[in-house]
Structure 1
Amino acid sequence: MSHGSNTDFVLAVEGLTVSFDGFRAVDDLSFYVDDSEIRVIIGPNGAGKTTVLDLICGRTRATAGSVRFRNRELTQLREHDIVRAGVGRKFQTPSIYDDLTVFENLEICYPRGRGVFGSLFFRRDQAVIDKVREVAATVLLTERLEEPAALLSHGQKQWLEIGMLLIQDPQLLMLDEPVAGMSITERRQTADLLRRISQGRSVIVIEHDMDFVAEIADRVTVLHQGRILAEGSAEAVKQDPQVIDVYLGH
């Protein structure tokens, strides 16, 4: 596949490298994500999966290479500027406010150019209320809006956190093991939720549950020792002898 000027990609990662004390955690990595694509990154522990997300969202500085999001270079931007550019990132541990209601958790993330708690003192205007309700419906929490977030199930807390990103309307959403610890039903609902939110935005997911991967992935990138071992459909990757050898066989 030749990638010309990469103007067609939402995300173009090229030659991305990061070294920690001489160890290359990510080693000359290149991959390209299309609009409305769900890209799943898999691979053994220590393959560099989370580090790749850290590099894209500016948490870690690249040693070399380029990360272009809609043709805008991200590697020199600060973390909050990358968020502002339209990149949302969810970490493994939910960071919701337990004592606030689901509504308030969503409301404080509504972009108004103020700090997190500033928005609690705003008059609730209709635009915010509408947006909160729309996002709550997307993440299956309409019935729970007035409840304290502490009362949600583990899976619902994960959905709320996805909602807190969605309300900022990112064009690229990055999720680290979103179904870890979820019930089978919640996993199925999450697969459906991810397919819905990928209409019109790109989603990168780190995941190790191969059944879940097969359910959601448009393309799968397999990392091993900071490099791409294989890339393709979930089906193709599952059959790849190298992938079976270093990852799936264990």
Structure 2
Amino acid sequence: MLMKTKDIILAVEGLTVSFNGFKAVNDFSMYVDEEQIYVIIGPNGAGKTTVLDLICGKTAATAGSIKFKGRELSKLSENQIVHAGVGRKFQNPSIYENLTVFENLELSYPQARTALSALFARRDQAMTDSILDVAQQIFLADFLDVQADFLSHGQKQWLEIGMLLIQNPSLLMLDEPVAGMSVAERRQTAELLRRIATGRSVLVIEHDMQFVENIADHVQVMHQGKSLSEGSMQKVKQDPRVIDVYLGH
């Protein structure tokens, strides 16, 4: 029996952005499949984070196309892109440190997108069940009543991933999710990402090569704003160009 091929959920083609004549991203293309963990690697300044900025609408493209489920994103606002099903986690955890884990997740629930609407959103069973389910997934089920400020760095990273998960995005974008984590936390995060990639696509920027090897279905290497190499981690690791500009250092 033929296996059903996965559809492309994100198609980025010819993406370019210039800052005062400098092309931070230069004619860059990528294709992310449904339920795929797609990892972008490369040296600092390669343009990796800028690609995420372009996809989520934080930065406007100079040229090129960004299609998500066939819909052009480059003309939408950041808020419209979130509502279309794209979630983005930045390098530093962005959580409400004076609130508990439960309250952080509650505030991120789709019906409670603002502090004001959260006050009036009825905490029904569906919301509570969703919060408990996500807390279990992100290893924080035993920390629901703990103020976020008292979590470890790794736990704060998980909480922010949970705050995105509870919105049920079809594409989750994570910028260096294991930076500053312990070895054990990195292992757990790999397990978490593999689990949440069932039912959604995950786009990751990362420098930790062992972590990339543990999670990646597909790896793309960026250098000076362009795509240098792509394929399996094994293939990319053996590419002389990648060794020369990135892995060899």
Q: Structure 2 length normalisation: TM-score? A: 0.96
Aligned 8 A contact 1:41 1:221 in 2: yes
Which amino acid is 1:216 matched to? I
Which residue of 1 is the match for residue 231 of structure 2?
Answer: 232
> For residues 117 and 186 of structure 1, do their structure 2 counterparts lie closer, same or farther at Cα, with a shift above 3 Å needed?
farther
> For residues 228 and 130 of structure 1, do their structure 2 counterparts lie closer, same or farther at Cα, with a shift above 3 Å needed?
same
- Structure 1 gaps of 5+ residues are 1-6
Aligned 8 A contact 2:111 2:121 in 1: no
Further displaced range: 114-123 or 96-105: 114-123
Q: Counterparts of 1:114 and 1:156 in 2: how far apart (Å)?
A: 22
Which residue of 2 is the match for residue 99 of structure 1?
Answer: 98
Aligned 8 A contact 1:109 1:116 in 2: no
In the TM superposition, residue 121 of structure 1 has moved relative to its aligned partner by 4.2
Q: Counterparts of 2:98 and 2:164 in 1: how far apart (Å)?
A: 19
Which residue of 2 is the match for residue 4 of structure 1?
Answer: none
Q: Counterparts of 1:71 and 1:105 in 2: how far apart (Å)?
A: 32
In the TM superposition, residue 55 of structure 1 has moved relative to its aligned partner by 0.2
Matched, 1:130 2:132: no
Q: Counterparts of 1:32 and 1:217 in 2: how far apart (Å)?
A: 14
In the TM superposition, residue 164 of structure 1 has moved relative to its aligned partner by 0.2
Matched, 1:40 2:39: yes
Matched, 1:148 2:147: yes
Which residue of 2 is the match for residue 71 of structure 1?
Answer: 70
Aligned 8 A contact 2:222 2:228 in 1: yes
> For residues 19 and 71 of structure 1, do their structure 2 counterparts lie closer, same or farther at Cα, with a shift above 3 Å needed?
same
Aligned 8 A contact 2:112 2:121 in 1: no
- Structure 2 gaps of 5+ residues are 1-5
SS at match of 1:245: helix
Which amino acid is 2:67 matched to? R
SS at match of 1:223: strand
Aligned 8 A contact 2:109 2:127 in 1: yes
Further displaced range: 108-117 or 36-45: 108-117
Q: Counterparts of 1:123 and 1:112 in 2: how far apart (Å)?
A: 9
1:72-115 superposed Cα distances (whole Å, 9 cap, x missing partner)? 00000000000000000000111111111100000000011652
SS at match of 2:204: strand
Alignment of structure 1 residues 199-238 onto 2, 5 Å: 199-238=198-237
SS at match of 1:203: strand
Which residue of 1 is the match for residue 81 of structure 2?
Answer: 82
Aligned 8 A contact 1:9 1:32 in 2: yes
SS at match of 2:54: helix
How many residues get paired?
A: 244
Which amino acid is 1:150 matched to? D
SS at match of 2:8: coil
Which amino acid is 1:11 matched to? L
1:155-201 superposed Cα distances (whole Å, 9 cap, x missing partner)? 00000000000000000000000000000000000000000010010
Which amino acid is 1:46 matched to? G
CA RMSD between the two structures: 1.1
In the TM superposition, residue 46 of structure 1 has moved relative to its aligned partner by 0.7
Which residue of 1 is the match for residue 118 of structure 2?
Answer: 119
Percent identity reads 69
Aligned 8 A contact 1:231 1:237 in 2: yes
Q: Counterparts of 2:116 and 2:39 in 1: how far apart (Å)?
A: 34
Aligned 8 A contact 1:177 1:206 in 2: yes
SS at match of 1:236: helix
Matched, 1:246 2:245: yes
Which amino acid is 2:200 matched to? R
Runs of 4+ with deviation above 2 angstroms: 120-123
Q: Counterparts of 2:216 and 2:115 in 1: how far apart (Å)?
A: 33
Which amino acid is 1:32 matched to? Y
In the TM superposition, residue 207 of structure 1 has moved relative to its aligned partner by 0.3
